[in-house]
A and B are shown apart, each in its own frame.
Chain A
């Protein structure tokens, strides 16, 4: 019986991109359905009634929400190729820790930058510190996953499309502060799974400007 895999998506969402990269890495065929967050479909509300958010992966009719939980699910179910999480429990725990760190920090701090309110300067400092911490963890490795992309790479790389926005909004100086991270981002894009899924930085900038306007009107 063929697997039926559907992804409820929003093209700009870095969280959805994580799932797309994971699906591509595993060579899984899936159907992508675009959602409008200001006009959510019945399917989304049915499949994620608790949070009403994307991404949602629907595997043979069963929904899974929360991007990192989805990526872990994909890694466990399609374990025939491209393991994203290490098999060693300690290495795994470190990967889970760092992906959780990325989840706790990047989106929230980044939002304060592109919303451009009084806390923008403070957010800029925090973002650079966060990237520096992450860069230290990368060290001299090719990827966070070692020789090939892994769970932490998947968790972080979608946000690299947002660097242009952070620079344009607040002149963050990410490249100067974190050259290794920039090099890592370039390296990630050499992987087809990543280059296929990543959004264009200019399109993201346009999208966020629109989103900011809409949020301010609410």
Chain B
């Protein structure tokens, strides 16, 4: 019986893109359904009633939500090209840093986006510290996952396109090669990988999207 894999995603979401990256790295054929987040489909609401968010992976009719949960499911179900380390300690470390990226780094990135003046400066300081901590994890390694790209690289992929686009749209200086040479060296390796490029968020469209959203928020908060 052929597997039926569907991914409900959104083109600008780094969470959605990371699932696509995992599926492509494993060579899993899937149907992609683009969601309009301002007008969510009834299918999305049916498959993720709890959070009503993308990404949602639907495998043979069964839905899985939350990008990190989806990544683990993909790795366990399609065992070729494993992305998570086998060793329990290494696995725990990979999960720890993935959580750090999602719960700390990306939360601070949001603060940088919405804050202004002194508050924004503080948020930028905070994100610099967090990025430095993350950069330490790359020291002495080709990729976060070691010799080849794996789970943590897939999660950290948010830095490659999404994060750099955000910085450009905001006109702030928080993520540069001078400040983070090791991360940028890693980015240089990643963008040479075809599969990674296939999942890139289209830059101009993204810059436009971020700017429009920020303007809209400024108006609504007045």
A69 engages B92 (CB within 8 Å): yes
Quick one: which of A41-70 are within 8 Å of B by CB?
50, 59, 62, 64-66, 69-70
Residues of A within 8 A of B62 (CB): 90
Number of A-B residue pairs, CB cutoff 8 Å, is 54
B65 engages A97 (CB within 8 Å): yes
Interface residue from A65, A89, A97 paired with B76 (Cβ < 8 Å): A89
A93 engages B69 (CB within 8 Å): yes
Residues of B within 8 A of A30 (CB): none
Q: How far is the CB of B151 from chain A (nearest CB, A)?
A: 13
Binds B, one of A71-79, A156-164, A175-183, A207-215: A71-79
Residues of B within 8 A of A97 (CB): 64-66, 69
Q: How far is it, in angstroms, between the C-alpha of A59 and the C-alpha of B87 when the chains are bound? A: 14
B95 engages A92 (CB within 8 Å): no
A66 engages B99 (CB within 8 Å): yes
Question: A195 at the A/B interface (Cβ < 8 Å)?
Answer: no
B69 engages A100 (CB within 8 Å): yes
Closest A-chain residue to B93, C-beta based? A64
Question: A96 at the A/B interface (Cβ < 8 Å)?
Answer: yes
B72 engages A93 (CB within 8 Å): yes
Classify the interface of chain A: helix, strand, loop or mixed.
Answer: helix
Encode contact with A along B65-86: 1 for CB under 8 Å, 0 otherwise.
1101110110011000000000
Closest A-chain residue to B48, C-beta based? A97
Classify the interface of chain B: helix, strand, loop or mixed.
Answer: helix
Residues of B within 8 A of A90 (CB): 59, 62, 64, 73
Question: B211 at the A/B interface (Cβ < 8 Å)?
Answer: no
Q: How far is it, in angstroms, between the C-alpha of A97 and the C-alpha of B76 when the chains are bound? A: 15
Q: How far is it, in angstroms, between the C-alpha of A101 and the C-alpha of B212 when the chains are bound? A: 31
Using a CB–CB cutoff of 8 Å, the interface residues on chain A facing chain B are 50, 59, 62, 64-66, 69-70, 72-73, 76-77, 89-90, 92-94, 96-97, 100-101, 133
A selection of 16 A-B contacts at a CB cut-off of 8 Å is A50-B100, A64-B92, A64-B96, A69-B92, A70-B92, A72-B92, A72-B95, A73-B88, A73-B92, A76-B88, A90-B62, A90-B64, A92-B72, A93-B64, A93-B73, A97-B66
Extra inter-chain contacts (5) besides given A90-B59, A100-B69, A133-B50, CB under 8 Å: A64-B96, A76-B91, A89-B73, A94-B64, A100-B68
